[in-house]
Structure 1
Amino acid sequence: MSQSAKAWFLYAADAASAGQQAELVYGDLTLPDPGPRDVLVEPLYGSWEGNMGHCVQRKPIDVARFRGEERVVIGNAGVVRVLSVGDEVQGWKEGQCALILPDSALDPWGYPTKAFAYDMAGTTGFLSTRMVLPARDLVPLPEKTRHSYAQWAGFSARYTTAWSNWRLAFGTYRLMVPHERNPAPHVWGWGGGTTLAELDLARRHGCNTVMLSASDERLGLIRQSGVTALDRRRFGDLYYDELRAGTDGAYRRAYQQAEAAFVREVQEHTDKRMVQIFVDYIGTPFFRVTRRVLSREGVITTAGWKEGMATSFMRATECIERHQYIHTHMCTREEVLAAIEYGEREGWMPTIDARIHAFDEVPALSQKFLEGNVGFFPVFAVNPE
């Protein structure tokens, strides 16, 4: 028998609303009948992710139109609790809690090709009070975890992505420069929660870590994590607009001064060794200055972008400098399990925003996120414990 749920819907744009920010619309959702290998789950907490902001802004794509659906329920990060299991489901029982990694969206090597409740058609995300999923899509959380489920919601996408990205970035650097030659590389970063999670992981691997931000609240959270915080506002505007730099002399000079000030800071902080691994989740406008402060045998690593998807560089120069570029997208099931085990054991966990938003406050949370008025790990409650 079909069950119903409440959900926040995002509708495909029509001719009048194309290119405009979408609204989240509250309504009823009819769930599909669970099959013998399915589970009925309820989200406990969801985490508001950057891709959800992209969905609301309809940038770079209108997700509902891309999926060929009139309306979608987004939200691919959070914790669910199992309510019932199909007759053929093994290993799961009522009351267990889990993260979600859709098995059907994996390539032959186990890496996701599409994101659940984003560009993966037919999926219902955490902006719903109930979901029906194949049991194979669940990843178990520790049954007697010492961390809150709200923390695990903040962990679910950002920390697992950081785990996978760091493994590849650090491993690549160590193939070039072994531990005995440089036991404590300099690792810097800018971006959001995934950057902070990755720098915290780098710190735990013995690296010298620095994260930049232009927000007083976020600078405090960075310090709290044990990563060195650096106020980006000290250097001026590091946002580089290549077209404007070619036509506006005053802008070009101001940018060059800001860049030079930042380069001097990096030189002083690293004793002129520069940055060995730079975690850059911002993208195009900061790519120029990121490359300027990268050392020889350096790595620029990312699993996303905030502002700008396209970057360019001189291949010959990058070959001579032995610069490596790491690009990842989510992670494998094995990496999720390893990240969960490490996070539970070592306390590698997010400090979620002090205020957990109620389910009826989701549109307000969405707007606050787009305005930059949230911390690194904004969480909303769907069916709290």
Structure 2
Amino acid sequence: MRAEAWVLYRAGTDGRSPESPGELRLEEVELPELGPLDVLTEPLYGCWEANMTHALERKPIDIVAARGEQRVVLGNCGLLRVLRTGRDVTGLREGDVCFLVCGNVLDRWGYVKLVHGYDGPGSMGVLAKRTVVPARLLLPVPRGSRHSLVQWATYARYWTAWSNWRLAYGTWRLQVPGDETPYVVAWGGGVGLAQAELAQIKDGARAAVIASSPSRLALIASKGVHPIDRSTFPGLAYDAARFAEDPGYRRAYRASERRFLAEVRAFTGGHGASIVVDNIGGPVYRASLRALDREGVIATCGWKHGMATEYLRAVECIERHQHIHTHAAARWEVDDAVAFQEEHGWLPEVSSVTPWEDVARLSQAYADGKVDDYFPVFEVNPV
């Protein structure tokens, strides 16, 4: 069986320079045979994830070459409709609409090591009109849900936020009395916004999210989260070499950092943040650490700009700062996350859906920073 799909080729095999970013190409792919524990599905909706852009940019690695393949079909977040099940599959039936649970390879505790539709070898993501998926990676969307399928299609960022918040908040609570209200500051992005909302809804935190566009700042405020305007500290992009060598840059950076820290202090009553959610990395990491209160937690589950970070261990020990790193969510965390989403409406309103034929344009717009929606949903097949 063959299916139409957006594919990404290994660097140097697509007629482009090996140093060039990749591009999506609409082609046909051959589907594998349906095994006894596999399911033939048709994706309905997907959500563009940052790791898909990393794959296209071939940063930090050429994901296609790392998988030992010539071309791959990306897409680790999407809703799939069951078309046919393998003979040994139980609990799923034709017509079920399911989440794609991304854990292609897990460690012994059930945490994700390799992601289906990204770095999991041989896996085919949701950027295909048909795909064969192991039944263990399918979880039915709550039947009779009061939320739309388009809303549910954004689930991956929410599950990632759930896992990261569970560990970050639990760690903070080990050090701080139970009657203390946590202050959470998150750098903008879908996971950061979801985590800020979760902190308020679930654990009574006061949360703020940093963003720069007027539409995003308005959205943050509409959710009862405090917006912090990134444009008021435009020079907050730390570069150690420039800081050491360029006096003008150093002055501009320090002025922006002081402005940022003043915003955080004002929001937290002068104490600093209990938890900073920083999925940006290098350019803002120094400022994130300085924004923390004593016994504070810096939590990350991503690396949008700058994977390598530095800190002074002595300072972090004295301040009793805790550094939390997570990746995706364990399968056993997902059920609780979905139940919480259904009960509390912990889901976004999706403003637009990109048509299938425009997915390549969406990928480029996302890479260029021209997608204002926190959750860029695209259609694969009609519902």
TM-score range, shorter chain: over 0.9
CA distance in 2, matches of 1:347, 1:102: 22
The range that moved more, 14-23 or 210-219, is 14-23
Runs of 4+ displaced beyond 3 Å: none
1:298-348 Cα distance to aligned partner (Å, 9 max, x none): 000010111000111111111110000000011111111111111011100
Asked if the contact 1:36–1:89 (Cα under 8 Å) also holds between the matched residues in 2, the reply is: yes
For structure 2, the residue ranges without an aligned partner over 5 or more in a row are: none
1:185-240 Cα distance to aligned partner (Å, 9 max, x none): 11001031011100100111211110011122221221222211111111231111
1:373 matched to 2:370? The reply is: yes
Asked if the contact 1:299–1:323 (Cα under 8 Å) also holds between the matched residues in 2, the reply is: yes
Asked if the contact 1:102–1:136 (Cα under 8 Å) also holds between the matched residues in 2, the reply is: no
CA distance in 1, matches of 2:269, 2:215: 29
CA distance in 1, matches of 2:234, 2:149: 39
CA distance in 1, matches of 2:240, 2:213: 25
Q: Which runs of structure 2 are paired with 1:143-292 in the superposition (5 Å)?
A: 143-155=143-155, 157-180=156-179, 182=180, 184-204=181-201, 205-292=203-290
Q: Which runs of structure 2 are paired with 1:119-134 in the superposition (5 Å)?
A: 119-134=119-134
1:355 to 352, 355, 375: 352
Asked if the contact 1:303–1:330 (Cα under 8 Å) also holds between the matched residues in 2, the reply is: yes
1:104–1:366 distance in 2 versus 1, CA, 3 Å? closer
CA distance in 1, matches of 2:188, 2:227: 13
The range that moved more, 105-114 or 215-224, is 215-224
TM-score of the two chains, using structure 1 as the length reference: 0.96
CA distance in 2, matches of 1:118, 1:88: 26
SS of 2:165's equivalent? helix
SS of 1:126's equivalent? coil
1:115-169 Cα distance to aligned partner (Å, 9 max, x none): 11111110000110111112111122111111111111112x1000000000000
SS of 2:114's equivalent? coil
1:230-275 Cα distance to aligned partner (Å, 9 max, x none): 1111123111111011111011011111111122222222221110
CA distance in 2, matches of 1:118, 1:19: 20
CA distance in 2, matches of 1:11, 1:364: 17
The range that moved more, 298-307 or 21-30, is 21-30
**Alignment correspondent of 1:382:** 380
CA distance in 1, matches of 2:112, 2:254: 40
Post-superposition shift, 1:104?
4.9
Asked if the contact 1:85–1:94 (Cα under 8 Å) also holds between the matched residues in 2, the reply is: yes
1:199–1:103 distance in 2 versus 1, CA, 3 Å? closer
Q: Percent identity at matched positions?
A: 48
SS of 1:108's equivalent? coil
1:80 matched to 2:80? The reply is: yes
The range that moved more, 70-79 or 18-27, is 18-27
Asked if the contact 1:351–1:377 (Cα under 8 Å) also holds between the matched residues in 2, the reply is: no
1:12-57 Cα distance to aligned partner (Å, 9 max, x none): 0118522211111111111111012211111010000000111111
The range that moved more, 323-332 or 212-221, is 212-221
Matched to 1:381, the amino acid is E
CA distance in 2, matches of 1:102, 1:300: 25
Asked if the contact 1:96–1:143 (Cα under 8 Å) also holds between the matched residues in 2, the reply is: no
SS of 1:113's equivalent? strand
Post-superposition shift, 1:102?
5.2
1:248–1:103 distance in 2 versus 1, CA, 3 Å? closer
CA distance in 2, matches of 1:103, 1:22: 24
**Alignment correspondent of 1:305:** 303
Q: Once superposed, what is the RMSD of the aligned Cα atoms?
A: 1.2
Asked if the contact 2:74–2:117 (Cα under 8 Å) also holds between the matched residues in 1, the reply is: yes
SS of 1:114's equivalent? strand
SS of 1:203's equivalent? helix
Asked if the contact 2:103–2:114 (Cα under 8 Å) also holds between the matched residues in 1, the reply is: no
1:166-186 Cα distance to aligned partner (Å, 9 max, x none): 000000000111322x1x211
Asked if the contact 2:102–2:117 (Cα under 8 Å) also holds between the matched residues in 1, the reply is: no
**Alignment correspondent of 2:91:** 91
**Alignment correspondent of 1:113:** 113
Matched to 1:168, the amino acid is L
Asked if the contact 2:103–2:115 (Cα under 8 Å) also holds between the matched residues in 1, the reply is: no
SS of 2:241's equivalent? helix
SS of 2:295's equivalent? strand
Matched to 2:340, the amino acid is Y
1:8 to 3, 6, 31: 6
SS of 2:185's equivalent? strand
The range that moved more, 272-281 or 212-221, is 212-221
Equivalences, count:
379
CA distance in 1, matches of 2:267, 2:133: 49
